[in-house]
Amino acid sequence: MALIDDLKNAQKDAMRAKDKVRLGTIRMAVAAIRQREIDEQITLDDAAVLAVLTKMVKQRQDAAAQYDQAERPELAETERNEIAVIETFLPQPLSDDELNTLIDDAMTQTGASGMQDMGKVMGFLKPKVQGRTDMGALSGKIKARLSA
């Protein structure tokens, strides 16, 4: 079953359960996915839906941090609740060991030897780790390996 179908089924379940936070968050996610489909005139596959959901989580993390700095804990808590709902649709995060194994494999497969090969390694890994790790942290780990 496609991820968008999971979202729509969860939306129906949230309506039945009268769970306003979950329902509102899922509606926002479905709307963001539909908007991207309309803008690009395509039907998104699971990888693209994961990218939209991952972006939504990152936006909410940034917003929560800003609310914390502005001493607005109630708004930060709302953002964190939305993050928790969205994360239920994302795959399980990769452990450090799994990530290091994937990086090693990617470097071997692409023949990466220096920083000039950073794009090759990231391109190889992105479809495998999308939604399962922070891409910024992954980039930092790859840079450390390539510059060593």
Condensed to tens digits (0 to 9), the pLDDT of residues 9-50 reads 999 999 999 999 999 999 999 999 999 999 999 999 988 898
Looking at the fold, whether 122 and 82 belong to one and the same domain comes out as no
Which pLDDT score is estimated for 129?
A: 86
pTM for this prediction? 0.77
CA-CA distance, 63 to 84, in Å (whole number)? Answer: 14
CA-CA distance, 16 to 148, in Å (whole number)? Answer: 55
Candidates 53, 48, 45, 83; CA nearest to 65 is 83
Looking at the fold, whether 135 and 80 belong to one and the same domain comes out as no
Which pLDDT score is estimated for 24?
A: 96
Q: Give residue 109's domain range.
A: 96-147
Condensed to tens digits (0 to 9), the pLDDT of residues 54-105 reads 899 999 999 999 999 999 999 999 999 999 999 999 888 888 899 889 998 9
Residue entry with tokens 């839906």:
49
Residue 27: which CATH number?
1.10.1510.10
Q: How confident is the model at residue 53 (pLDDT cuts 50, 70, 90)?
A: very high
Looking at the fold, whether 60 and 39 belong to one and the same domain comes out as yes
Average pLDDT, stretch 135-143?
88
**Of 67, 87, 107, which residue constitutes the final position of a domain?**
87
Looking at the fold, whether 15 and 49 belong to one and the same domain comes out as yes
Residue 112: which CATH number?
1.10.10.410
Burial 59-93 (b: 16+ CB within 10 A, else e): ebeebbeebeeeeeeeebebbbbbbebbbebbeee
